[in-house]
Amino acid sequence: MAAETAYSVCPHDCPSACALEVDVVDSRTIGRVRGGTSNPVTDGIICAKVARYAERVHHPDRLTRPLRRVGAKGEGAFEPISWDEALDAVAGAFAEAAGRYGAETVWPYLYAGTMGLVQRDGIERLRHTMKYSGMGRTICSSVGKAGWIAGCGALRGTDLREIAESDLIVLWGVNAAATQVQTLHHATNARKARGARIVCIDPYETATAKAADVHLAPGPGTDGALACAVMHVLFAEGFADWEYMRRYTDAPERLQQHLSERTPAWAAAIIGLTEDEIVGFARDYGRTERAFIRFGYGFTRSRNGASNLHAASCLPAVRGAWKHRGGGALMATGDVFSLDRTLIEGSDAADRRVRVLDMSRLGAVLAGEAADLKGGPPVTAMIVQNTNPAVVAPESAKVRAGLLRDDLFLCVHEQFLTETARYADIVLPATTFLEHDDIYTSYGHTFLQVARRVIEPLGECRSNHEVICALADRLGADHPGFRMTAWEMIDATLAASGLPGAEAVHAAGGRDCAPAFEAAHFLDGFAWPDGRFRFAADWEALGALGNGMPSLPDHAPVIEEADDRHPFRLVTAPSHDFLNSSFTETATSQRKQGRPTAFVHPEDCAAHGLRDGDPGRLGNGRGSVVVHAKEHAGTRRGVVVVESIWPNAAFVEGIGINTLVGAEPVPPTGGAAFHDTAVWMQAERKAAE
């Protein structure tokens, strides 16, 4: 019997939110997954790891029954139990903890393992109705968003479909060959059709860099200096659009004066590029009206990440590139979706007096550090959905120590027995996106999409929405959202937002929420009261940690610099075949990635007694990790790249790479500086024996 085609949406934490066509073999089995051809952004293109999603959804290690821990935490010894037993145990533990310490002792913890709004954010409804501790979602995007908003005022920009009209496409801090594959697809099409040039800015040679016409490799955390030097050239050589700036920006004269000393020579000494490379890029950008910059989050994951992004986002304002189709820039598209999420998140039940804990400071929170607990009780009960913090969170040794606490009750709702799940008291089996209904926005394009369940849930798996509603019932939480199915909630959310219903949006293959060209390019004004792009950023208005950040674009020397003891800068870049810690369980992705690997320049390998394939130890004051070295001429001297996120157990000593990454809050919003770590490196001969 021929497979039928069902339509769905990729839920993973990637800007693309790809429209999908799924071959359905029967009610419990899928075949091949393809990119949706009716969606003009997806355009039939998806990444290889999602194309082989059958390998993941039908994986023999999928969790299928609720489990109760019978061994030591972290040991992975569990016994199967019924759903009623499991939910009663979780609700009972939460009630007992709240009775002893107050409701804030319970901390629901989540992130973006699914980007579907109902299944991801319904846990917030339980949090708000029960007055459990809040969670600051800082671990990924908060710093980058602040950097963009500092100038533009809103998360929108040039539509990716305009790449077809671009003559210069700059991929800055994004490996589009691994995530955002459509961006590279559209860029290469523009190169074929109109001779567009592609520039990749990344500290090491990625697959995207290989596909580009020009690769610039600034040192990690130095992008602000590069942006300043480029703008210096734009002003000095007559490429700055003064008519545009006087109409649309706040302080062009101050900016020009400020940048007069930020010369290419000044920047070259900071970033490690030659003056010719900097000037060449600046002139190419200056001569090209239809110049488009696609920013990624990679270069914002630094202690100066927000100011770096703000500095780079000034380029199209100085050049006046926003005026032209195919010009301008894009960071994220979140503000194009005007959805009323009250029903999903239960925000009408929120109490602003409840403390909000920083998710990036998980280790410190679990260690009971007073400043991180914000004067409240210790965290003694948690439920985790959509994330794997034992691997993903910074200072992961401290996180794992906290998860081992005997007085911490932990429930993990997961598809696989992840390392976080191994620390749990109760593990609940979760559906994949193909086994539940949801609604999706995107942070890379403008399509609102609705997806129906494609196949039946595996075994006894239940969706996040079902679990949250069942716990609410046992805990006495009251909210209309707890009495609705996921589909009913999608339909009601769309109605509250003044949009067509769920069935209509699903049948249409999504709804394009793109603003008009003038709004997308801010030609009707930037999203500030005066309508002007802000060269002079008001950081303190954007976050509690904004004091002391550079107002005008600059290089902020606050990164974890290399020194005599720690001569290398570590970048934990995304791998091609994983997505954060997802897909690490699939055999094909494992085979393609091989093993945890440190990319090191051959001369640095030789200087430290390492040969290709040798185990080496990376370390700093937070710990040390053994990882095999790979000689890689495309990595800068003084930089080590470990593509992630491999499970901790995949490393030689069972200690993962985020052990080395600090959890100090990044200004102005807080967040983790995953690509801003100083380390030492040495040969580790014993590990080879």
Residue 615 in tokens:
């185990």
Provide mean pLDDT across the span 367-386: 98
Q: Tell me, what's the pLDDT at 414?
A: 98
Residue 179 has a pLDDT of: 85
pLDDT at 688 over 80: no
Q: pLDDT tens digits, residue range 536-593?
A: 999 999 999 999 999 999 999 999 999 999 999 999 999 999 999 999 999 999 999 9
Residue 12 confidence (pLDDT): 96
296 half-sphere exposure, CB direction, 13 A CA radius: 24
The rounded distance, in Å, linking the Cα atoms of 405 and 447 is 44
589-596: long-range pairs with CB below 8 Å, 24+: 589/49, 593/643, 593/646, 595/628, 595/646, 595/650, 596/627, 596/628, 596/642, 596/644, 596/646, 596/650, 596/651, 596/657
Angular region, 525: left φ>0, alpha ψ -120 to 50, beta rest: left
638 near 681, Cβ under 8 Å? no
* pLDDT for residue 588: 97
DSSP-derived secondary structure letter, 665? P
The whole-angstrom separation of Cα 142 and Cα 136 is 9
Predicted structure pTM score: 0.97
**Helix, strand, coil percentages, rounded to 5, for the chain:** 35, 20, 45
Triad 305, 309, 313: Cα angle to 5° = 175
Are the C-beta atoms of 416 and 63 separated by less than 8 Å? yes
Q: Cα separation of 178 and 186, whole Å?
A: 14
Query: In angstroms, rounded to a whole number, what is the distance separating the alpha carbons of residues 52 and 369?
Result: 44
Burial state string for 427-450 with b = 16 or more CB within 10 A and e = fewer than 16: bbbbbbbbbbbbbbbbbbbbbbbb
Distance of CA 404 to the CA centre of its chain: 27
Instruction: Determine the pLDDT at residue 426.
Output: 98
Please tell me the predicted confidence (pLDDT) of residue 406: 96
Q: How far apart are CA 568 and CA 635, in angstroms?
A: 12
Q: Are 21 and 33 in contact, with CB atoms under 8 Å apart?
A: yes
pLDDT of the residue at 127: 98
Phi, psi angle pair for 92, to nearest 5°: -65, -40
Q: What pLDDT digit, counting tens, does each position of 492-501 carry?
A: 999 999 999 9
pLDDT at 659: 98
* Interatomic CA distance for residues 161 and 180, integer angstroms: 13
pLDDT at position 307 over 80 = yes
Which amino acid appears at position 32 of this protein?
A: R
- Please, which residues have CB within 8 angstroms of residue 339's CB and are 6 or more apart in sequence? 117, 441, 448, 493, 494, 497, 499
**Taking 60 as the threshold, does the pLDDT of residue 686 lie above it?**
no
CB neighbourhood size of 671 (10 A) = 34
Percent of the chain with pLDDT over 90: 98
Mean pLDDT rounded to a whole number for the chain: 97
At 171-202, the pLDDT tens digits run 999 999 998 899 999 999 999 999 999 999 99
Side-chain half-sphere CA neighbours of 686 within 13 A: 4
pLDDT digits (tens, 9 = 90+) for 329-339: 999 999 999 99
Q: What is the mean pLDDT of residues 332-359?
A: 98
Angle at 419 between CA 418 and CA 423, to 5 degrees: 110
Average pLDDT (619-640) is 97
Contact between 439 and 450 under an 8 Å Cβ cutoff? The reply is: yes
Q: What percent of the chain has pLDDT over 70?
A: 99
Which residue is associated with the tokens 């709804």?
A: 511
Q: What is the pLDDT of residues 51-100, one digit of tens each?
A: 999 999 999 999 999 999 999 999 999 999 999 999 999 999 999 999 99
Average pLDDT over residues 338-360: 98
* Among the listed residues 326, 319, 377, the one whose alpha carbon sits nearest the alpha carbon of residue 131: 377
pLDDT at 243 over 50: yes
Three-state secondary structure readout of 308-330? HHHHHHCHHHHHCHHHCCCCEEE
Kindly list the structural domains of the chain, giving each domain's residue range(s) and its CATH number in brackets, ordered by start: 4-57 (3.30.200.210), 67-137+340-435+451-479 (3.40.50.740), 143-334+518-541 (3.40.228.10), 568-688 (2.40.40.20)
At residue 689, the pLDDT reads 35
Calculate Rg over the CA atoms of the chain: 25
What's the confidence (pLDDT) of residue 2?
A: 72
The pLDDT score that the predictor gives to residue 1 is 58
